[in-house]
Amino acid sequence: MDAFRLYTLGTSAYLAAQSLPLLLTPKLIVSLLATEVRGITDLETYLCRTLALVLLTLSASIVLLSGHIPLGNQATAPITKAQEEDGAANPYASPILVITTAYHTLTAFYLYTQITWGFSFGFGSGLVLSALLACFGGWVSMFGMDKGRISKSTGADKRTSGILFPSESASGKKKEKEKEGKRKSLSSKFR
Protein backbone atom coordinates (compact mmCIF):
# COMPACT_ATOMS: atom_id res chain seq x y z
CA MET A 1 0.00 0.00 0.00
CA ASP A 2 1.47 3.33 -1.01
CA ALA A 3 1.67 6.36 1.26
CA PHE A 4 -1.21 8.22 -0.40
CA ARG A 5 -3.64 5.35 0.12
CA LEU A 6 -2.52 4.94 3.71
CA TYR A 7 -3.02 8.66 4.34
CA THR A 8 -6.51 8.73 2.83
CA LEU A 9 -7.60 5.64 4.75
CA GLY A 10 -6.23 7.16 7.97
CA THR A 11 -8.06 10.42 7.31
CA SER A 12 -11.32 8.61 6.54
CA ALA A 13 -11.04 6.47 9.66
CA TYR A 14 -10.32 9.54 11.81
CA LEU A 15 -13.35 11.41 10.43
CA ALA A 16 -15.59 8.35 10.89
CA ALA A 17 -14.37 7.95 14.47
CA GLN A 18 -15.23 11.59 15.13
CA SER A 19 -18.72 11.20 13.68
CA LEU A 20 -19.84 8.06 15.51
CA PRO A 21 -20.26 9.58 19.01
CA LEU A 22 -22.08 12.56 17.52
CA LEU A 23 -24.42 10.32 15.57
CA LEU A 24 -25.12 7.67 18.20
CA THR A 25 -25.04 9.59 21.49
CA PRO A 26 -25.75 13.31 21.03
CA LYS A 27 -27.30 13.48 24.52
CA LEU A 28 -24.08 12.23 26.12
CA ILE A 29 -21.96 14.70 24.12
CA VAL A 30 -24.12 17.68 25.08
CA SER A 31 -24.32 16.65 28.75
CA LEU A 32 -20.53 16.40 28.89
CA LEU A 33 -20.18 19.88 27.39
CA ALA A 34 -22.86 21.62 29.49
CA THR A 35 -21.91 23.23 32.79
CA GLU A 36 -25.32 22.74 34.36
CA VAL A 37 -27.58 19.71 34.39
CA ARG A 38 -30.36 20.05 31.84
CA GLY A 39 -32.05 18.17 29.05
CA ILE A 40 -30.93 18.24 25.46
CA THR A 41 -32.89 20.40 23.04
CA ASP A 42 -34.06 19.33 19.62
CA LEU A 43 -31.71 21.84 18.00
CA GLU A 44 -28.69 20.35 19.77
CA THR A 45 -29.69 16.86 18.67
CA TYR A 46 -30.18 18.05 15.12
CA LEU A 47 -26.82 19.84 14.99
CA CYS A 48 -24.92 16.87 16.48
CA ARG A 49 -26.41 14.38 14.06
CA THR A 50 -26.05 16.70 11.06
CA LEU A 51 -22.38 17.28 11.86
CA ALA A 52 -21.94 13.51 12.17
CA LEU A 53 -23.53 12.93 8.77
CA VAL A 54 -21.32 15.63 7.23
CA LEU A 55 -18.22 13.95 8.66
CA LEU A 56 -19.34 10.54 7.38
CA THR A 57 -20.06 12.01 3.95
CA LEU A 58 -16.63 13.63 3.84
CA SER A 59 -15.05 10.35 4.90
CA ALA A 60 -16.86 8.42 2.15
CA SER A 61 -15.99 11.08 -0.44
CA ILE A 62 -12.32 10.83 0.43
CA VAL A 63 -12.38 7.05 -0.01
CA LEU A 64 -14.24 7.28 -3.33
CA LEU A 65 -12.21 10.11 -4.85
CA SER A 66 -8.85 8.74 -3.75
CA GLY A 67 -9.32 5.68 -5.96
CA HIS A 68 -9.80 2.95 -3.36
CA ILE A 69 -13.13 2.03 -4.89
CA PRO A 70 -13.18 2.18 -8.69
CA LEU A 71 -15.82 4.48 -10.09
CA GLY A 72 -17.97 3.68 -13.15
CA ASN A 73 -15.81 5.18 -15.92
CA GLN A 74 -12.54 3.98 -14.44
CA ALA A 75 -13.68 0.37 -14.20
CA THR A 76 -14.48 0.10 -17.92
CA ALA A 77 -11.46 1.90 -19.38
CA PRO A 78 -8.13 0.14 -18.87
CA ILE A 79 -5.36 2.29 -17.44
CA THR A 80 -2.06 2.14 -19.25
CA LYS A 81 1.29 2.07 -17.48
CA ALA A 82 2.15 5.56 -18.83
CA GLN A 83 -1.10 6.99 -17.43
CA GLU A 84 -0.41 5.38 -14.07
CA GLU A 85 3.11 6.84 -13.92
CA ASP A 86 1.91 10.31 -14.95
CA GLY A 87 -0.86 10.34 -12.34
CA ALA A 88 -3.60 10.41 -14.98
CA ALA A 89 -5.12 7.32 -13.42
CA ASN A 90 -6.53 9.37 -10.55
CA PRO A 91 -7.07 13.07 -11.27
CA TYR A 92 -8.59 13.69 -7.83
CA ALA A 93 -5.58 12.49 -5.82
CA SER A 94 -3.79 15.81 -5.53
CA PRO A 95 -6.88 17.95 -4.71
CA ILE A 96 -8.04 15.48 -2.06
CA LEU A 97 -4.57 15.50 -0.55
CA VAL A 98 -4.38 19.30 -0.42
CA ILE A 99 -7.88 19.75 1.01
CA THR A 100 -7.54 17.11 3.72
CA THR A 101 -4.05 18.27 4.70
CA ALA A 102 -5.34 21.84 5.03
CA TYR A 103 -8.27 20.55 7.10
CA HIS A 104 -5.99 18.67 9.48
CA THR A 105 -3.61 21.63 9.75
CA LEU A 106 -6.41 24.06 10.59
CA THR A 107 -7.97 21.61 13.04
CA ALA A 108 -4.63 21.07 14.78
CA PHE A 109 -4.10 24.85 15.00
CA TYR A 110 -7.58 25.36 16.47
CA LEU A 111 -7.07 22.58 19.02
CA TYR A 112 -3.67 24.03 19.95
CA THR A 113 -5.27 27.41 20.66
CA GLN A 114 -7.86 25.70 22.86
CA ILE A 115 -5.19 23.83 24.83
CA THR A 116 -3.40 27.06 25.69
CA TRP A 117 -6.35 27.94 27.94
CA GLY A 118 -6.28 24.59 29.72
CA PHE A 119 -5.49 21.01 28.82
CA SER A 120 -8.24 18.45 28.35
CA PHE A 121 -7.98 14.91 27.08
CA GLY A 122 -10.33 15.48 24.14
CA PHE A 123 -8.47 18.52 22.86
CA GLY A 124 -5.09 16.87 23.46
CA SER A 125 -5.90 13.65 21.64
CA GLY A 126 -7.51 15.55 18.79
CA LEU A 127 -4.46 17.79 18.53
CA VAL A 128 -2.07 14.84 18.38
CA LEU A 129 -4.08 12.95 15.75
CA SER A 130 -4.75 16.01 13.60
CA ALA A 131 -1.12 17.14 13.79
CA LEU A 132 0.11 13.65 12.85
CA LEU A 133 -2.25 13.46 9.88
CA ALA A 134 -1.30 17.01 8.82
CA CYS A 135 2.40 16.15 8.94
CA PHE A 136 1.83 12.87 7.11
CA GLY A 137 -0.25 14.67 4.48
CA GLY A 138 2.53 17.22 4.00
CA TRP A 139 5.07 14.43 3.65
CA VAL A 140 2.91 12.60 1.11
CA SER A 141 2.39 15.78 -0.92
CA MET A 142 6.14 16.40 -1.07
CA PHE A 143 7.57 12.90 -1.38
CA GLY A 144 4.86 10.25 -1.58
CA MET A 145 3.05 11.06 -4.83
CA ASP A 146 5.94 10.41 -7.26
CA LYS A 147 6.78 6.93 -8.31
CA GLY A 148 10.54 6.57 -8.13
CA ARG A 149 12.41 5.18 -11.09
CA ILE A 150 14.27 2.38 -9.39
CA SER A 151 16.97 0.51 -11.28
CA LYS A 152 16.29 -3.22 -11.48
CA SER A 153 19.98 -4.13 -11.44
CA THR A 154 21.34 -1.83 -8.70
CA GLY A 155 18.22 -0.82 -6.79
CA ALA A 156 19.21 2.87 -6.94
CA ASP A 157 16.93 5.72 -7.91
CA LYS A 158 17.63 6.77 -11.50
CA ARG A 159 16.47 10.36 -11.06
CA THR A 160 19.36 12.70 -10.38
CA SER A 161 19.51 16.43 -9.99
CA GLY A 162 22.50 18.69 -10.31
CA ILE A 163 20.95 21.92 -9.02
CA LEU A 164 22.33 22.07 -5.49
CA PHE A 165 24.57 19.03 -5.33
CA PRO A 166 25.89 17.96 -8.72
CA SER A 167 26.59 14.30 -9.24
CA GLU A 168 30.32 14.02 -9.93
CA SER A 169 30.15 10.45 -11.20
CA ALA A 170 27.26 11.24 -13.56
CA SER A 171 28.96 14.36 -14.92
CA GLY A 172 32.23 12.44 -15.34
CA LYS A 173 30.47 9.75 -17.37
CA LYS A 174 28.77 12.43 -19.45
CA LYS A 175 32.11 14.11 -20.20
CA GLU A 176 33.64 10.77 -21.19
CA LYS A 177 30.76 10.13 -23.62
CA GLU A 178 31.23 13.60 -25.12
CA LYS A 179 34.98 12.99 -25.59
CA GLU A 180 34.31 9.62 -27.25
CA GLY A 181 31.77 11.26 -29.55
CA LYS A 182 34.29 13.93 -30.53
CA ARG A 183 36.98 11.29 -31.16
CA LYS A 184 34.63 9.31 -33.38
CA SER A 185 33.63 12.39 -35.33
CA LEU A 186 37.29 13.42 -35.77
CA SER A 187 38.32 9.95 -36.89
CA SER A 188 35.48 9.84 -39.42
CA LYS A 189 36.65 13.17 -40.90
CA PHE A 190 40.18 11.89 -41.53
CA ARG A 191 39.05 8.71 -43.29
Residue ranges of the domains in the chain?
A: 3-144
b (16+ CB within 10 A) / e for 127-138: bebbbebbebbe
Residue 149 has phi, psi (to 5 degrees) of -95, 95
Tell me what pLDDT residue 50 has.
96
pTM for this entry: 0.69
Task: Report which residue type is found at 99.
Answer: I
Please answer whether residues 100 and 8 qualify as being in contact, where contact means their C-beta atoms are separated by less than 8 angstroms: yes
pLDDT along the chain (191 residues), means of 10: 88 95 89 84 92 95 86 59 55 89 96 87 92 95 73 66 60 67 63 59
Separation in Å, CA 81 to CA 84, 86, 88, 96, 110: 5, 9, 10, 22, 42
Tell me what pLDDT residue 161 has.
56
Count other C-beta atoms under 10 Å from residue 145's C-beta: 14
Tell me what pLDDT residue 147 has.
65
Tell me what pLDDT residue 11 has.
95
Question: What whole-number distance in Å separates Cα of residue 191 and Cα of residue 189?
Answer: 6
Please answer whether residues 19 and 53 qualify as being in contact, where contact means their C-beta atoms are separated by less than 8 angstroms: yes
Please answer whether residues 12 and 59 qualify as being in contact, where contact means their C-beta atoms are separated by less than 8 angstroms: yes
Tell me what pLDDT residue 31 has.
85
Alpha-carbon dihedral 54, 55, 56, 59, rounded to 10 degrees = 120
